[in-house]
Amino acid sequence: MPTLAYAVLADFVRAEGGLAHLIAAGIDTVGARQVPTGQNLGLLAGVRFTRAECGRPHRFEVLFSDEDGAVLTRGTGIIVPEWDKDLPVHWGRAMQAAVNLGVPLPRYGLYQFSIMVDDQELGTLHLRVIPYPDGEPEVEAPAEPE
């Protein structure tokens, strides 16, 4: 069975040529002035496959759900890992999967992203939505040079 090596939430993700490009990675909390609202988020997952699992299609899916378990949105795709003959036989073949989603946030509270491959949950990432503090964020003016 494929295994999850890592997963991270960000503002935007792209996986290309074995490299991952992330903007504002490590998100676990969103502040919202009001709900319902929505947020664009990217999820990058590193999935490891055995030699026997390579060369065939695997269904990759991300389910976004609320704390009651209701699925609010999903992203799906097919990934086909290819075995690299230069890898040691006991190593797994790592692949990166990048999914950018607009997620609905109907209320403040807890949400989760379930990372699935071939209908098996490999892991989850949690997200909380909290009220944004009143007023505009304070920005300090740069100090005057002496």
Parallel, antiparallel, or unpaired: how do β-strands 3-10 and 37-49 relate?
Answer: antiparallel
Compute the 3-state secondary structure of the chain and give helix, strand, coil in percent, each to the nearest 5.
Answer: 0, 60, 40
CB 12 within 8 A of CB 25: no
Classify 17 as helix, strand or coil: coil
**Of the candidates 41, 34, 40, the residue with the CA atom closest to the CA atom of residue 106:** 34
Q: How far is CA 109 from CA 126, 131, 137, in A?
A: 11, 9, 22
Average pLDDT, the chain: 92
If pLDDT is split at 50, 70 and 90, which confidence band does 89 have? Answer: confident
What is the residue extent of each domain of the chain?
3-131
Per-residue model confidence as pLDDT tens digits over 61-74: 999 999 999 999 99
Class of domain 3-131: mainly beta
Reported as a single tens digit per residue, the pLDDT across 92-117 is 999 999 999 999 999 999 999 999 99
Please tell me the distance from the alpha carbon of residue 75 to that of residue 39, in angstroms, as a whole number: 15
Mean pLDDT within 70-97: 92
> What pLDDT does 139 receive?
45
Q: Is the pLDDT of residue 140 over 70?
A: no
Given a cut of 60, whether residue 12 has pLDDT beyond it is yes
The residue behind tokens 């379930």 is 114
**Structural element, H or E, at residue 39:** strand 37-49
**Which tens digit of pLDDT belongs to each residue from 28-57?**
999 999 999 999 999 999 999 999 999 999
